[in-house]
Amino acid sequence: MTSEQNGSRRPDGPMRLIGRWSELDDKARRAVTTRGLSAIFDPALRESIVELLEDVRRNGDEAVCRALERFDGCRVTPSQLRVGLDERRAARRQVSSELLSAVRDAIDHVRRFNEQVVARADWSFESEPGLVVGERYSPIESAGLFVPGGKNTFPSVLVQIGTPAVVAGVRRIAVVVPPVPGSDGEVDPAVLAVADELGIEDVFRVNGPAGIAALAFGTESIPRVRKVLGPASPAVTCAQVEVQRYGTVSTMLLGPSESLILADDTADPRLLAADLLNEAEHGDDSASLLVTDSEALLAATQVELARQLEVLPEPFRRHAAAAIGENGGAVLVADLEEGAEVANAYAPEHLMIVVGDEDGVLDRLHDAGEILVGQQTPFSAGNFLIGCPATLPTSGYAKVSSGVTAEAFRKRTAIARADHRALERMAPSIVALSRHERFPAHEAAVRARFEP
């Protein structure tokens, strides 16, 4: 093994050896666990995105069409931004029966998962005699969903974020998706088929950042919504961050893709390599990390990674090589307890555990977008079908937020009811706090209820 300038080592194989966790200082550990934010919050990117947002805010459809021509090479008139009913119906005929069956299978799993989420009923209890408090759940009024498009298309994303919105009961759902670059505005028929299956009628062909702006501000053709979300490039993610200054809520952050596998010597290195490459192929900015207490497993996995990378076509081979060789790598730990410490510090979007003591390790894990247990639960199953959220927080945001479920499209309203007896009991405390904070009207509002 040879030392590299950044202090990590590259053993025989394509995966970077970051080192032993116990031997890394705080700076080195931060280098492992901090990722993705510099690209999203790059000052030059932010400046260009803010300029684009302002153009859409002021000029509506005209600015949206300009962005489509400038960034995607698509000439579309304002009247063509909306995907019409005839085009949606034609799209269903273009989708193979196998793909349509897979879409329906995925929607069914995601729907059933989210039906359990919304089954959480309104609640209340009597916190003291005469005082009843609780919460009532209700859907948000409107939501805008961004589905990545362009050279690659992702109908599974609309399954994963559209189904929860429908199950939650959102009244107005709008979808924006970039068209095929250089086309006359062509949108992947599979994405349109998913929208049709979900009953979503408002679908628009729009460039990514401009689409986020259009949803946040509203244009002549695209309705304004109160929440936008969807996994995206740094530019689209930056746009989602920026529009929050105007009152449109988003979800932080949903990209770039990242995964961590915590494994011991019970793991099959062939399957381990396959799962490491699963998320790694998404892009040059993806990251895949292996955390293990077994040097023998790491060595065997390196052999498998080299073999499987060799047969992976471009550009996915290049993406995967960057994800395991530059952005990710392998961390050696003394034991699985320390491995769980690393996993929690990293707070990955996707976390898989392949260990002998699954339940014992699972109990130690608390910061991850999702946790897939065992080698019969691959990342691709989570991405496409099993029903658990697959649109998940990245860049460490799994420490404070969760994946996109129906909960992302619902809000809670607190409700309280007090009778005279309860208010009389609470009055001295209310008065004391009102006086301390110098709010005489607060005190008077309570006293008025006990004066003749």
Measured CA to CA, the distance from residue 282 to residue 197 in angstroms comes to: 26
State the Cα–Cα distance between residues 224 and 229, nearest whole angstrom.
Answer: 13
Residues near 244 by Cβ (< 8 Å), separated by ≥ 6?
A: 250
Q: What does the alpha-carbon distance between residue 191 and residue 176 come to, in Å, rounded to a whole number?
A: 11
- Please indicate whether residue 349 is annotated as part of the active site: yes
Distance CA 117, CA 140 (A): 15
Distance from C-alpha of 148 to C-alpha of 41, rounded to nearest angstrom: 20
Give the residue carrying structure tokens 């009055």: 427
What is the distance between the alpha carbons of residues 452 and 447, in angstroms, rounded to a whole number?
Answer: 10
The residue from 319, 350, 370, 407 that is catalytic is 350
The three-class DSSP label of residue 309 is helix
Tell how strand 131-139 and strand 142-146 pair up. Answer: unpaired
Query: Alpha-carbon distance 367 to 349, whole Å?
Result: 9
CA distance linking residue 66 with residue 219, whole number of Å: 14
- DSSP labels for 353-382? EE-S-HHHHHTT----SEEEESTTS-HHHH
Alpha-carbon separation of residue 21 from 33, 52, 269, 330, 368 (angstroms)? 12, 43, 21, 10, 19
How many CB atoms sit inside 10 A of residue 373's CB? 15
Q: Are 89 and 83 in contact (CB under 8 A)?
A: no
Query: By C-alpha distance, which of 315, 339, 206, 198 is closest to 260?
Result: 339
Name the catalytic one among 258, 279, 281, 349.
Answer: 349
Is the CB of residue 15 less than 8 Å from the CB of residue 305?
Answer: yes
Is 338 an active-site residue? no
Question: Which sequence positions are flagged as catalytic?
Answer: 349-350
